[in-house]
């Protein structure tokens, strides 16, 4: 147990949650706020389907709406079924990740941070879907005429979080083989 001036310090913070849970909750909230604030700026200053060149030949800020999933898959205007399916799947995946984290016996920073990044990203994109009916994408990376599909901070958080969880699983698997 950590100590504070020679006395044992409880590993619990506000509302009886472990300090690591606070880190996870605040990381997810931070990603959500950063994502929504960045999208608000884009919507306020860039017209829909227009952009601003930031680094010529490499990086633009654009204002795109995506009703589908990553890379514009299922981006069909007027079809409500994919909207509801994508939103429901996102919420179920988020709930499963939280339950998986809470039920895991071996929790570490990779597991917690990966989970929080994904949860914050899911919350950002689901909020867009519920608020405006599509996800607001604005980061446009490209080289020459090759453009990576536009994305946002929530998408980046989900991708990084997924990589952290994959790394966590690899490390856990290897530690089981060593033991």
Catalytic positions, written as ranges:
137, 155
Distance of alpha carbon 131 from alpha carbon 162, whole angstroms: 25
Neighbour tally for 67: CB within 10 Å: 19
Residue with tokens 């989900």: 158
Residue with tokens 């990779």: 110
Cβ proximity of 120 and 32 under 8 Å: yes
Helix, strand, coil share of the chain (percent; to 5): 60, 15, 25
| 18 φ, ψ (degrees, to nearest 5) | -65, 150
Q: Extract the runs of DSSP E, i.e. beta strands, from the chain.
A: 3-4, 7-8, 51-55, 59-66, 135-143, 146-147
Neighbour tally for 23: CB within 10 Å: 15
């Amino acid at each position: 147990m950590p100590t504070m001036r020679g006395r044992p310090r409880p590993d619990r913070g506000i509302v009886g949650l472990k300090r690591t849970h606070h880190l996870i909750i605040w990381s997810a909230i931070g990603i959500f706020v950063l994502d929504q604030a960045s999208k608000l700026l884009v919507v306020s200053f860039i017209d829909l389907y227009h952009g601003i060149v930031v680094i010529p030949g490499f990086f633009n800020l654009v204002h795109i709406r995506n009703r589908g999933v990553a890379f514009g898959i299922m981006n069909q205007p007027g079809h409500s079924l994919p909207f509801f399916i994508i939103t429901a799947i996102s919420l179920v995946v988020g709930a499963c990740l939280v339950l998986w984290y809470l039920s895991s016996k071996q929790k570490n920073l990779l597991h917690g941070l990966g989970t929080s990044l994904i949860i914050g990203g899911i919350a950002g994109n689901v909020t867009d879907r519920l608020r405006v009916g599509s996800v607001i994408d604005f980061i446009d990376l490209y080289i020459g005429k090759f453009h990576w599909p536009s994305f946002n901070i929530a998408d980046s958080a989900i991708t990084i979080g997924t990589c952290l969880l994959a790394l966590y699983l690899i490390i856990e698997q290897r530690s089981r083989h060593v033991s």
